[in-house]
Structure 1
Amino acid sequence: MSRQPASRARPKGRPTRKKKPSIVDRILARIPLSHVALRRIATWAVVLIALGGVYVAGAVTGVNASVGNALAEQIGKAGFRVEQIEVRGVKRMDVTTVYAVALDQKSRAMPLVDLNLVRDRLLQYGWVQDAHVSRRLPDTLLIRIVERTPAAVWQDRGTLSLIDRDGVYLEPVSANAMPDLPLVIGPGADRQEPAYQTLMVAAPALKPKVRAATWVGNRRWDLLFDSGETLSLPEGEDEAAKALKLFAEKDGTDKLLGNGYIKFDLRDPTRMVVRKPDPATRAPSPKPTATGKPETTKSDRAPTRDTV
């Protein structure tokens, strides 16, 4: 009886040889993105290339751009469509206005959203000094707003408005909720706000003491101080700055403000005319008349004037 060779049993526990990952797999493993994100990026790259090819072909052959628009709409249906608006930098502006501008599009497909148009529309609002609009794939528009800074309150014909240092209108202001900002008064005073800011640089110590500044006759400034005095400045930016600096120096040495004066006139920069109230201008006590009504009298004496 012949013996047949027994089949050799496979050794137990011997590991199977694993297939080495390809170079592409190793590169992708090093990229700090999820497979889902990588798939979306790859899809976006492909559709952009395809869209670019369509537009190039249209430009060469004269094919209507509706083909490209149709492809862009398909991209939107694939998930690349504006579904969220992320707004940053808004502190005082109404954020719903930003949303309304961003969503006012013919199509919300990402390739068809006009970023420049959104920015241009936002720049039409007073609060917006600058705006940056970008896409964040797959479905978000990111809008960064740079707001203007309020610098003064402008009063004209009984209306109060908030303006920035360039005189740009921001929003109306209620008289019951006046912010702690300089008050500029008169027609055209808003356009003179940059000049007013420059003027106050000449005498920074006086700036916190100024309650209001009136633009007179579209030519010059009258300053009203917290202590109640008025300072009339001459015409011309340089002349007004020199006069204000001179007044600040005199106030520093002679303490003009809060010393009983009512007006300082420096419209002629070579001399300062000072006015102070005359006690004799007080109206006498009313005397009864035959009708029983008090008799009113008027004083024709003006406040005293001194030239310094």
Structure 2
Amino acid sequence: MRPIAGQKRSAQRRDPAPSRMAYRLQRLWLTPSVRAALRVGLPALVLAVAVGGYLADEGRRDALASIYTDMREKIKNRPEFQVTLLSVEGASPELAEAVRTALALPLPLSSLDLDLEAARSKVAQLYAVGTVDVRVQSGGILQVVIKEREPAFVWRDAAGIWLVDETGKRVAEVEARSDRPDLPLIAGEGADKAIAEARQIFASAGPLLPRLRGLVRMGNRRWDIVLDRDQRILLPTDQPVLALERLIALDQAQEVLARDISAVDLRLQARPSLRLAPYSLAELRRQRGIIPAENDL
């Protein structure tokens, strides 16, 4: 339809397409990293600048530190945070006293000042302690729950006489072997490191147990069995239990250990040997004419 003559032409419509700059800004806003930077990064930057400017003054920093210290002191000194009693459970009276001495806590003490992990480490260093758990219970009680090591052997070395558990860990020191006659005796350097083998030897000794006085670790590599009547069984480095079982079978058949011998050497399994006692050796030499009898002199 043509416009009527003399009437002004209506204004042209506005182009709805965005300008190039607006288009680029819209595309940039749709980028996830840019949106995150503007929504999170920019406020965080502003906040950091504000906090940094506030804390730049030393007086303000000291005032904040003083406020924090006062609040912490007020909180930790509240009655509900006070530890007034130390409870040691699962330990003998001697060990319980050793635990109290090791911790040396100046009670009453705020639970916020307690380092439970450091306390647990101190208690765990005691010989007789197997496992330990330290926790603060309601009512202001510091509870120490202990599982003691059970002594399984008496171990004699150059430093003294010790009770050790089935893994070779020291439990306690004793004055004499007679303090624990119910436990088997092991001796020598490195005997505590070969507890498993010693336990197998004791378990296989069977009929020799009434005569068995103990095991001696030789050269930190093998065992000697010590019997009464000053007799010894020299076990090999390899397969000592098998060698002992063979000797026991031989003894039951021929009563080897009932004879006047000082040692049975099993270190060479293919050729075991007997060592005669001094009197028997002298008598054997006399019979063979190696040395004259006393009556012939």
Shorter-normalised TM-score: what interval? 0.5 to 0.7
Question: 2: distance between equivalents of 1:176 and 1:274?
Answer: 30
Q: TM-score, normalised by structure 1?
A: 0.61
- Kept in 1: contact 2:83–2:107 (CA 8 A): no
Q: Deviations over 1:147-184 (max 9, x none)?
A: 11112222223732222222222332212743122222
* Inter-CA distance 176–224: structure 2 relative to 1 (3 Å threshold): closer
Task: List aligned pairs for 1:100-115, cutoff 5 A.
Answer: 100-104=101-105, 108-115=109-116
Question: 1: distance between equivalents of 2:262 and 2:187?
Answer: 19
- Kept in 1: contact 2:261–2:276 (CA 8 A): yes
3-state secondary structure, aligned to 1:150: coil
* 1:196 Cα deviation after fit: 1.4
- Kept in 1: contact 2:154–2:184 (CA 8 A): yes
Q: Does 1:263 align with 2:263?
A: yes
Question: 2: distance between equivalents of 1:243 and 1:93?
Answer: 43
- Kept in 2: contact 1:84–1:141 (CA 8 A): yes
Q: Report what 1:197 is aligned to.
A: 199
Task: List aligned pairs for 1:138-149, cutoff 5 A.
Answer: 138-149=139-150
Q: Does 1:82 align with 2:122?
A: no
Letter in 1 for 2:109: R
* 1:106 Cα deviation after fit: 11
Question: 2: distance between equivalents of 1:241 and 1:206?
Answer: 13
Letter in 2 for 1:231: I
3-state secondary structure, aligned to 1:262: strand
* 1:93 Cα deviation after fit: 4.3
* 1:253 Cα deviation after fit: 3.4
Question: 1: distance between equivalents of 2:66 and 2:272?
Answer: 74
Q: TM-score, normalised by structure 2?
A: 0.63
Question: 1: distance between equivalents of 2:160 and 2:66?
Answer: 51
* Inter-CA distance 194–73: structure 2 relative to 1 (3 Å threshold): farther
More helix by share: 2
3-state secondary structure, aligned to 1:241: helix
Q: Report what 1:186 is aligned to.
A: 188
* Inter-CA distance 265–170: structure 2 relative to 1 (3 Å threshold): same
* Inter-CA distance 280–214: structure 2 relative to 1 (3 Å threshold): closer
Question: 2: distance between equivalents of 1:274 and 1:231?
Answer: 10
Selected match of 1:233 from 213, 235, 244: 235
Question: 2: distance between equivalents of 1:68 and 1:249?
Answer: 79
Q: Deviations over 1:42-76 (max 9, x none)?
A: xxxxxxxxxxxxxxxxxxx9987993895376344
Q: Report what 2:174 is aligned to.
A: 173
Task: List aligned pairs for 1:1-308, cutoff 5 A.
Answer: 67=68, 70-71=71-72, 74-91=75-92, 93-104=94-105, 108-157=109-158, 159-175=160-176, 177-180=178-181, 181-207=183-209, 209-236=211-238, 239-277=239-277, 278-279=279-280, 281=282
Q: Deviations over 1:238-257 (max 9, x none)?
A: x2121122122223333444
Q: Which has the larger radius of gyration?
A: 2
* 1:208 Cα deviation after fit: 5.4
- Kept in 2: contact 1:93–1:127 (CA 8 A): no
3-state secondary structure, aligned to 2:83: coil
3-state secondary structure, aligned to 2:192: coil
3-state secondary structure, aligned to 2:109: coil
Which deviates further from its counterpart, 180-189 or 254-263? Answer: 254-263
Q: Deviations over 1:62-92 (max 9, x none)?
A: 9879938953763443243111111111126
Give unpaired runs (5+ residues) of structure 1: 1-60, 283-299, 302-308
3-state secondary structure, aligned to 2:82: coil
After TM superposition, which residue ranges in structure 1, 4 or more long, deviate above 6 angstroms?
Answer: 61-66
* 1:121 Cα deviation after fit: 1.5
Which deviates further from its counterpart, 187-196 or 247-256? Answer: 247-256
Question: 2: distance between equivalents of 1:73 and 1:151?
Answer: 51
Q: Report what 1:294 is aligned to.
A: none
Letter in 2 for 1:216: M
Give unpaired runs (5+ residues) of structure 2: 1-54, 56-60, 284-289, 292-297
Question: 2: distance between equivalents of 1:70 and 1:254?
Answer: 86
* Inter-CA distance 176–242: structure 2 relative to 1 (3 Å threshold): closer
Question: 2: distance between equivalents of 1:196 and 1:157?
Answer: 19
3-state secondary structure, aligned to 1:94: helix
- Kept in 1: contact 2:83–2:108 (CA 8 A): no
State percent identity of aligned pairs.
24
- Kept in 2: contact 1:224–1:231 (CA 8 A): yes
* 1:139 Cα deviation after fit: 0.8
